[in-house]
Amino acid sequence: MTSGAKSKAPVKGKVLKAFGNLLQVEFEGDVRQGEVGFVELPDTSLKGEVIEVAGNEVKLQVFEDTRGVALNTPVTFTGDLLEAELGPGLIQTIFDGLQNRLEVVAETSGYFLPRGVYVPAIDREVEWEYVPVAKVGDTLMRGETLGTTLEGRFTHHIMVPFSFFGKVTLTWVIEPGKYTIETVVAKGTSETGEELSFTMLQKWPIKMGLFEGERIKPTKMMDTGSRILDTQVPIMKGGTFCTPGPFGAGKTVLQHHLSKYSSVDLVVLVACGERAGEVVEILREFPHLIDPHTKEPLITRTCIICNTSSMPVSARESSIYMGITIAEYYRQMGLDVLLLADSTSRWAQALREMSGRLEEIPGEEAFPAYLASRIASFYERGGVVSLADGRQGSITICGAVSPAGGSFEEPVTQATLAVVGAFCGLSKARSDARRYPSIDPLISWSKYVGDVAKLLESDAPGWGEGVARASYFLREGTEIGKRMEVVGEEGVSLDDLTIHLKGELYDFCYLQQNAFDPVDAYCPLDRQIPLFRLINHIFETKFDFPNRDRAREFFLMLQSKIKTMNSTEYQTDEYKKLFAEIEEYIESARKL
């Protein structure tokens, strides 16, 4: 948005002290917290953010290596907060934590990123097919649609900038055609008489929530294709959940699965302090993977933000906020967005480093005292919004947590558990036993189980009771298994052994999936429902086995049959035949 108002002159300052990436700068004029400043070196300018203001001095957190900064080095404050550029062209793009397009940076600077290189987030030369929606004389408010353009398969709404508050009456609208994002597409007059011009590009401060509309309760389930998630730990669109786990337990692989198979319109993937090799794997795989919902390359619905462990640690905080701001922008168009943050622990480590440089009083494990409130404010930016025209958009937030030593009692995990709607705790023991996904169903929980049961009531009557029954057999079977490790199989009754075998069957044949099997890797709900109904039929069936050997033989054969069925295409006659054979096999074993 542009207007006739004059922007204030940049404020100048000079460096007094330096503590690593933190500079103490003296200035004259007006500077606010969160404002962007540039440290002027002879060969480049380094971007930074004001994180503390005290009198006529500020502390400037620089996002780059401060080598060469000396006493009295000049600093220019822009007057703008750290902002995201929003408009068509964000999807299928790879950004760093400051929203620089990494492909463009690589083309201009090579594969080793130099400091002080900043490029526009959205290409200014690409032309978009713009179709005006609003007409001359229409009165609009922030977030309402001026026109649309097609971004891939998505209808991208060009909205009245969210930085504008009040009403604007349109006085001019451009004709349909191809235009760049900086082309003025509409003009109007505000309530105060100010003349305004609108383009397809707008900006928004990343640390302020972008929201317009009415927040409502989540009403749709997010189908992930993972049976343990959809059944034991279900997620609602617009909900929040976390995936804590020790190193090597499979957090990143689980997030890759969610980005590939979740039933959402758009995925924003934030690699915050992630190892470079894992990010490279994403960049290589996603253009070649096919989205099972649209049959298009997965990259066409993905926006990736990379701030790897080899990049400046001071930009980790901005990468998290950059991702959620982009997600909020697309939510305001009525899209369902999934934000994957890997990992929030490394974001918290960046907060701890910055807090230490500011000499703040430390909290538990030297994390800042405001860690819990920062984590809560991040997750609260998710949710479902009902727009003025009746459309609904949602942001589902998943944060991976890497607790030190694998302990879920550490501050980041505990602060996260206090605000999320579901907890998917990953287990190193299950991972070592090759039980994937390695989510431990005995410690994981979800507040959305009741909501999902209501949604599935017509297709799967009694779903909630079935989940409770499955949890009982899993829990009791595990306890019996622990007793058997001490006293042996002969130390438990045949009935207890049967309960243990039923729990093992549920874990092995339903909760575990083979990621290398093209059929079993993704199990949609229409396939999960009959399979879960079959499992519950086994739970409810009273078996009269003559001895322990016959019980074990029966359940081993049953495991083999169900595993074979899991790898068979659902809509084939072979699958239906296997399903019928298993039901017949169960009935034949009731009286032995």
Residues 236 and 192 in one domain: no
Q: Locate tokens 């001490």: which residue?
A: 486
Q: Locate tokens 């080899």: which residue?
A: 310
Are 563 and 519 in contact, with CB atoms under 8 Å apart? no
Could you tell me if residue 169 is inside a domain?
yes
Residues 331 and 357 in one domain: yes
Could you tell me if residue 525 is inside a domain?
yes
Could you tell me if residue 111 is inside a domain?
no
Residues 541 and 508 in one domain: yes
Q: What is the CATH number of the domain that holds 132?
A: 2.40.50.100
Could you tell me if residue 118 is inside a domain?
no
Quote the pLDDT of residue 6. Answer: 44
Pairing of strands 45-54, 240-244: unpaired
Residues 397 and 327 in one domain: yes
Are 407 and 425 in contact, with CB atoms under 8 Å apart? no
Residues listed for the chain? 592
Residues 195 and 219 in one domain: no
Work out how many domains the chain is built from and give that number. 4
Could you tell me if residue 416 is inside a domain?
yes
Q: What is the CATH number of the domain that holds 42?
A: 2.40.10.170
Residue 137 lies in domain: 128-200
Could you tell me if residue 89 is inside a domain?
no
Considering only CA atoms, give the Rg of the chain. 27
Q: How many CB atoms lie within 10 A of CB 356?
A: 16
Quote the pLDDT of residue 108. Answer: 83
Helix (H) or strand (E) segment spanning residue 355:
helix 344-357
Could you tell me if residue 5 is inside a domain?
no
For 318, 333, 379, 380, 493, the CA distances from 384, given in Å and listed in that order, are: 23, 12, 13, 11, 50
Tell me how far apart the alpha carbons of residues 530 and 541 are, in angstroms, rounded to a whole number.
16
- CA 489 from centroid of its chain's CA atoms: 45
Q: What is the CATH number of the domain that holds 479?
A: 1.10.1140.10
Q: Locate tokens 């431990």: which residue?
A: 440
Residues 275 and 346 in one domain: yes
Partnered with residue 267 across adjacent β-strands are 302, 338
Quote the pLDDT of residue 405. Answer: 82
Q: What is the CATH number of the domain that holds 307?
A: 3.40.50.300
The torsion defined by the Cα of 516, 517, 523 and 528, in degrees rounded to 10, comes to -120
Are 549 and 495 in contact, with CB atoms under 8 Å apart? no
Are 592 and 550 in contact, with CB atoms under 8 Å apart? yes
Quote the pLDDT of residue 4. Answer: 41
For 230, 268, 330, 382, 464, the CA distances from 217, given in Å and listed in that order, are: 19, 22, 19, 11, 20
Domain boundary among 149, 175, 200: 200
Quote the pLDDT of residue 591. Answer: 60
Domain boundary among 168, 200, 232: 200
Quote the pLDDT of residue 589. Answer: 80
Quote the pLDDT of residue 111. Answer: 74
Tell me how far apart the alpha carbons of residues 50 and 77 are, in angstroms, rounded to a whole number.
9
Tell me how far apart the alpha carbons of residues 89 and 184 are, in angstroms, rounded to a whole number.
17
Partnered with residue 186 across adjacent β-strands are 173, 198
Quote the pLDDT of residue 114. Answer: 82
Could you tell me if residue 103 is inside a domain?
no
Residues 394 and 434 in one domain: yes
Cβ within 8 Å of residue 512, ≥6 positions away: 228, 435, 436, 437
Angle separating helix axes 548-566 and 573-588, nearest 10 degrees: 170
Residues 516 and 431 in one domain: no
Residues 388 and 299 in one domain: yes
Residues 257 and 296 in one domain: yes
Residues 302 and 344 in one domain: yes
* DSSP codes, 283-307: HHHTTT-B-TTTSSBGGGGEEEEEE
**pLDDT tens for the chain, residues 1 to 592:** 554 444 567 899 999 999 888 999 999 999 999 999 999 999 999 999 999 999 999 999 999 889 999 999 999 999 999 999 999 999 999 999 999 999 999 888 877 778 889 999 999 999 999 999 999 999 999 999 999 999 999 999 999 999 999 999 999 999 999 999 999 999 999 999 999 999 999 999 999 999 999 999 999 999 999 999 999 999 999 999 999 999 888 888 898 899 999 999 999 999 998 888 888 888 888 888 888 888 888 899 999 999 888 777 788 889 999 999 999 999 999 999 999 998 899 999 999 988 988 889 999 999 999 999 999 999 999 999 999 888 999 999 999 999 988 889 999 999 999 999 999 999 999 999 999 999 999 999 999 999 999 999 999 999 999 999 999 999 999 999 999 999 998 999 999 999 999 999 999 999 999 988 999 999 999 999 999 999 999 999 999 899 999 999 999 999 999 999 999 999 899 999 999 999 999 988 876 5
Q: How many CB atoms lie within 10 A of CB 590?
A: 10
Quote the pLDDT of residue 421. Answer: 97
For 10, 31, 62, 71, 73, the CA distances from 40, given in Å and listed in that order, are: 13, 17, 12, 12, 7
Residues 293 and 342 in one domain: yes
